[in-house]
Structure 1
């Protein structure tokens, strides 16, 4: 049996380079190798945006357009919305019944986000239970493989623990999902932190060339290098040189390092070269996005077709789960 890949993203509107290298590049590759299910995690969005829901619909549309523009093909993969499948919520309820609170509280990603997000109180049951809902997303359609970045590994391992507990209590049924790590571990934002829309440090896939150049010019380089004639250090270059690693060959990286160490060029020249590479890499994306935007109904069409393909799988799973929990009856509508 072909292994099934399941992964999703919270609808945050137009996507940035961090999304592309952390997730989307991998998705595009995987759709030619496995049966892939990619979902809009709009319920997950409520864990931190419960007080700001006005833009979720438009953010979903913009994000799916970006998915299609980077190369996700609805003929090769299924694209759907989490909230269109009520069985996800039902399985989430069952899994919360068997998941110890201590497992959720020790999650390092949970602790990190509590430290990072200080503008609102996110210590809610929904936010704490984020990994349980994520587990339901993955195992309901019988996902085997989950493409994730390193920062999501604790969530996935927690999901594996939940699956083991379910199988122990009710008999083997679910496979433990396995991680597929992205080739690029983490792309930094222009300020040196993780690239994130909430930090205002992102280069978006749909940014025009002038905007990209302006953002690259803000990137942090070697803070000790004051003048062009001062020798630089690529090791101390906080953002520009690490980003060159994504866009440059080994030979090009060696040339950049030599020029920097010997003060053969300044940081602005290094930034110009990086900006040109980013702009060139996104030319095809910008053209495809412009074409997709001319078809106003395409996003709903793609989501409807994905739902049509995925929901029968989920209904079958929840039917089996109800039986294992001894709450299934012939009168239950499935």
Structure 2
């Protein structure tokens, strides 16, 4: 099977909170043990909306990396890097912009959504219009096969696939491509070569997706083939030219079920967050002052947990026994709201304790954090340079 490579990034625009932990980081922790992972600090992306407050980005970059490491992202299992430290992203973005129709950018759904949401900012900039293309460059430069995204980001991955397809269509016209592809088939040997031809025919004549997947897997398994021959066989399989840029798949991230302190989604813009490095006293105070069921004006008034934001936290943090105790105690006024909140406080603090201990160790050793990132940037840059060499070759830019 082909190596599955995952790419994901976050914008450094402030402290990470429990919403980030449950919505993104827990997913990363799982993926780093299943696939090759590249996780990056999207500082250029942050500039598309925070261009006038660069100091927020600067402060947040290292703090965010510390939060990732404290949460359990392991530099031995994942490549951690900063986008702006790999300038090849910008080069690929520039080259892709030469072939990207303006209408494709204007129809990305988040373009108008974000402009409406951030109406107080002037987002009529080239950088903001082009940020989906920069995102495409981030993905394509690492030949990522999977990109974990929420539902609202799926159009961005579709856009990236279209860009890869367009690039391969325009620049994958290698001179003598068909002859080179047929020569590569012979290198497979008569048995595998025959199977390749059969699978190619099944896919091209009847659109058999299973045949396509089987042929792709067979090509990737071949140890003796050069990368160029593999790309020719993949391109010939689909009836196109040489595949230079890989079309990624989206990997749908389960929606974060982490509610904020007011019952809405946890978000800095709602001012309802618990940060990963918030002190235990502050966490306890925030939960103690959470709103509860409005029907419980007095301690003796019965309530309904379904109407209380605290219950949403019990659903995440409490076992069945405590949940039954809450349901019974709230509906009969057998327990007060402060009592009800105590198990949540204990569970949140228990979850945060190891994260905060690790964060303190990394915060005390900034050189270690910078070394981890420097190594990650070097690894990322090695792959990015390789892709850019192929892109420049295809576009005729490697002048000798």
TM-score normalised over the length of structure 1? 0.89
**Contact (CA 8 Å) 1:13, 1:61: kept in 2 or not?**
no
Structure 1 residue aligned with 2:359, among 278, 289, 302?
289
Structure 1 residues 226 and 86, CA, compared in 2 at 3 Å: closer, same or farther? same
Higher helix share: 2
Instruction: Point out the more displaced range, 75-84 or 96-105.
Output: 96-105
Instruction: Give the superposition deviation at 1:301.
Output: 0.5
- Secondary structure in 1 aligned to 2:312? helix
Instruction: Give the superposition deviation at 1:186.
Output: 4.4
Q: Does 1:63 align with 2:57?
A: no
- Secondary structure in 1 aligned to 2:47? helix
**Contact (CA 8 Å) 2:15, 2:64: kept in 1 or not?**
yes
Q: Which residue matches 1:96?
A: 97
Q: Which residue matches 1:2?
A: 3
Instruction: Give the superposition deviation at 1:111.
Output: 3.1
Structure 1 residue aligned with 2:398, among 316, 329, 334?
329
Partner Cα separation in structure 1 for residue 248 and residue 128 of structure 2: 22
Instruction: Give the superposition deviation at 1:207.
Output: 0.4
Partner Cα separation in structure 2 for residue 31 and residue 321 of structure 1: 28
Aligned pairs (5 A) from 1:10-49: 10-49=11-50
Q: Which residue matches 1:142?
A: 143
Unaligned stretches of 5+ in structure 1?
Answer: none
**Contact (CA 8 Å) 2:263, 2:312: kept in 1 or not?**
no
Q: Does 1:309 align with 2:310?
A: no
Structure 1 residue aligned with 2:305, among 234, 242, 251?
234
Structure 1 residue aligned with 2:317, among 232, 247, 259?
247
Structure 1 residues 295 and 253, CA, compared in 2 at 3 Å: closer, same or farther? same
How far does the alpha carbon of each residue in 1:197-243 deviate from its partner, in whole angstroms, 9 at most, with x for none?
34432210000111111222343433444334333333333x32223
* Structure with larger Rg: 2
How far does the alpha carbon of each residue in 1:30-61 deviate from its partner, in whole angstroms, 9 at most, with x for none?
11111111111110110111001123233111
Q: Which residue matches 2:277?
A: 206
Q: Which residue matches 2:84?
A: 83
Structure 1 residues 199 and 292, CA, compared in 2 at 3 Å: closer, same or farther? same
Aligned pairs (5 A) from 1:251-262: 252-262=322-332
Instruction: Point out the more displaced range, 302-311 or 222-231.
Output: 222-231
Structure 1 residues 67 and 164, CA, compared in 2 at 3 Å: closer, same or farther? same
Structure 1 residues 231 and 4, CA, compared in 2 at 3 Å: closer, same or farther? same
Structure 1 residues 225 and 301, CA, compared in 2 at 3 Å: closer, same or farther? same
- Secondary structure in 2 aligned to 1:319? helix
**Contact (CA 8 Å) 1:41, 1:81: kept in 2 or not?**
yes
Structure 1 residues 232 and 204, CA, compared in 2 at 3 Å: closer, same or farther? same
**Contact (CA 8 Å) 1:87, 1:318: kept in 2 or not?**
yes
Partner Cα separation in structure 2 for residue 253 and residue 167 of structure 1: 55
Structure 1 residues 249 and 115, CA, compared in 2 at 3 Å: closer, same or farther? farther
Instruction: Point out the more displaced range, 90-99 or 248-257.
Output: 248-257
Partner Cα separation in structure 1 for residue 329 and residue 48 of structure 2: 47
**Contact (CA 8 Å) 2:19, 2:266: kept in 1 or not?**
yes
TM-score normalised over the length of structure 2? 0.75
Partner Cα separation in structure 1 for residue 263 and residue 105 of structure 2: 29
**Contact (CA 8 Å) 1:149, 1:186: kept in 2 or not?**
no
Instruction: Give the superposition deviation at 1:286.
Output: 1.2
**Contact (CA 8 Å) 1:228, 1:266: kept in 2 or not?**
yes
**Contact (CA 8 Å) 2:295, 2:302: kept in 1 or not?**
no
How far does the alpha carbon of each residue in 1:176-202 deviate from its partner, in whole angstroms, 9 at most, with x for none?
222333345342322344323344322
Structure 1 residues 182 and 250, CA, compared in 2 at 3 Å: closer, same or farther? farther
How far does the alpha carbon of each residue in 1:63-96 deviate from its partner, in whole angstroms, 9 at most, with x for none?
1111111111111111111001111011112333
Partner Cα separation in structure 2 for residue 127 and residue 240 of structure 1: 38
